[in-house]
Amino acid sequence: MVLPIRLVPDPILREVCAPVDRGADVSGLARDMLATMYAAPGRGLAAPQIGEGLRLFVMDCSWKEGLPDPRVFVNPVIIDRSGSQTNEEGCLSLPDVPRLVARADRVTLAFDGPRGQRTEVFEGLAAACVQHEVDHLDGVLITDHPEAPLGP
């Protein structure tokens, strides 16, 4: 089911989200979040953007290029960052307000999976997307980042 996306200045977008209880079934919520993200159309969507104050986000950085790879991340924590990149980012909660944001080019993310906690490394666009969505879980928006200069 496609859900309504919360827009700035909705206060839930500024809240630090609560961890998802271990063993909680969030599969239905994640499925609805993916449907909402694809319909928007976006590359990522965090739970507070649909009114849920939970540490959960969905992402698919390659579907717009015809390579769908839907992902669900529960209780994500960035445990390492390296390198740098600057990209123009958009946000489904701030339509038509793109911003140049400087972020790490490589991140290691720890998160809960179906068989326990795991870690995964993301680079480039996927690393930027992970950082954008984790920001949402901490009540941070792209407008909170200083406008980055474009270039090396």
Q: Does residue 52 have an active-site annotation?
A: no
Tell how many helices (H) and how many strands (E) occur in the chain. 2, 7
Closest CA to 79 of 134, 124, 133, 148: 134
Residues 6+ apart with CB under 8 A from 83: 104, 105, 106
- Range list of β-strands (E), the chain: 44-46, 56-59, 71-82, 85-91, 94-103, 106-113, 116-123
List 65, 120, 133, 147, catalytic entry: 133
Closest CA to 73 of 127, 130, 17: 130
Q: Write the DSSP symbol of residue 8.
A: T
The residue written with tokens 């769908």 in the block is: 68
Q: Write the DSSP symbol of residue 41.
A: T
Q: Which residues are catalytic?
A: 133
